[in-house]
Amino acid sequence: MAHDRLDGRPGASACGRSKRGQEAQQLGRSKGGFSTKLHVAVDGLGNPVRFVLSPGQAADVTNAPSLLEGLQFDALLADKGYDADWLVDLVKSTHHAEAVIPPRKGRKEPRDYDKHIYKQRNLVERFIGWAKHFRRAATRYEKTARNFLAVWNFAAIIKLLK
């Protein structure tokens, strides 16, 4: 077993920072304490496609590129947390799709969006509600980000097998 710490104990680097710390576990400070955000992408039938985990204090829109990378879609339906001009431009230029994202309340120039198409975003909310029936998915019992994502992937597999 390699010893990276100066005091000879395993599990931390020579500079004293733990390899299994909050950054590695995707934990972050928010108003409610330590928390994690789970970003979910589903297809047009409500089947899960991808999960991305981020610290609680991170803005939703910052994780959008990793959530969308490699996916094919005609329209991106997202909530106000993903409202950013650079994301709309990314969706149009890279994915050749329409961004259906309602504008934030304080936006100086509100952008139009198709309210009829936006109603389909409930597929994401319904999947998350369904998956939270799994107790380990609803509350983060798992310490590591890897294990927490595994619980959500397990729930996704069960959903896909139904």
What's the structural domain count of the chain?
Answer: 1
Contact 64, 75 (CB under 8 A): no
Give the domain CATH number at 45.
3.30.420
- The whole-number pLDDT of residue 22 equals 53
User: Which residues pair with residue 141 across a beta bridge?
Assistant: none
pLDDT tens digits, one per residue of 27-57: 555 565 667 788 999 999 999 999 998 887 8
pLDDT tens digits, one per residue of 85-120: 999 999 999 999 999 999 999 888 888 999 999 999
Give the gyration radius of the chain's Cα atoms. 19
Query: Parallel, antiparallel, or unpaired: how do β-strands 33-42 and 98-100 relate?
Result: unpaired
> Of all residues in the chain, what percent are helix, strand and coil, respectively (each to 5)?
40, 20, 40
6 within some domain: no
12 within some domain: no
Three-state secondary structure call for residue 93: helix
50 within some domain: yes
- Domain hosting residue 72, numbered range: 24-161
122 within some domain: yes
